[in-house]
Amino acid sequence: MADILHRLPEFLGNHFYLALGFVGVLVALAVIEAQRLRRGYTAVTPAGLTQLINRDDALLIDLSSQQDFEKGHIPGAKQVSMSQFDPQSKELIKIKEQPVVVVCKNGQTSAQAAQRLQKAGFVKVFWLEGGIGAWNEAHMPLTKGRG
């Protein structure tokens, strides 16, 4: 170990740009991780979502359009368009302490909705990373129709 530490300055001098790139990547990873921890809501995988539904009776809100929802949605999901999504609604306020999972077609809109829920004071907020596409890729069941 002492030999490695003794030769480190020589290595850094000979490979300055490589070392600088390594430090840059390390800083970027630290910043991304810090942002993830501060955001207040959690990304969940299809397997994690299944556990939340089965164990914690999580409310599942699908933000897909009505047409996409009818083509295929996660069983038990409630469809709400993003334009009508209101974290302060009477129905949602009643369940502030329960787990709430938001999903959409690709995971982008649901991440924004999760942020809105977290800002509204919801305690257990999750979003399906990758959306319905990730659910489909994991070969999980979809229900067609209005639900």
Q: How many domains does the chain have?
A: 2
- 36: pLDDT strictly greater than 90: no
Same domain, 33 and 62: no
Same domain for 102 and 49?
yes
Do 27 and 47 belong to one domain?
no
Percent of the chain with pLDDT over 90: 35
| 60 pLDDT above the threshold of 90 | yes
Q: What is the pLDDT of residue 138?
A: 93
Residues 48 and 106 occupy one common structural domain: yes
Domain membership flag for residue 27: yes
> Is 62 within the bounds of a domain?
yes
Instruction: Let me know if 10 is exposed, middle or buried by CB neighbors in 10 A (0-12, 13-18, 19+).
Output: exposed
Give the model confidence (pLDDT) of 39-54 as tens digits: 667 889 999 999 999 9
Q: Are residues 17 and 65 in the same domain?
A: no
Average pLDDT over residues 60-87: 90
pLDDT band at 31 (very low <50, low <70, confident <90, very high): confident
Average pLDDT, the chain: 87
Q: Residue 71 burial (CB < 10 Å; 0-12/13-18/19+)? A: middle
- Same domain for 68 and 12, yes or no, is no
Count CB atoms within 10 A of the CB of residue 67. Answer: 7
Which range of residues forms the domain containing residue 29? 2-37
pTM to 2 decimal places: 0.72
Catalytic amino acids?
A: 104
Considering the domain boundaries, does residue 122 fall inside one? yes
Q: What is the CATH number of the domain that holds 60?
A: 3.40.250.10
- Residue 126's nearest CA partner among 22, 56, 68, 75 is 56
* Three-state SS at 144: coil
Residues 129, 77, single domain; the answer is yes
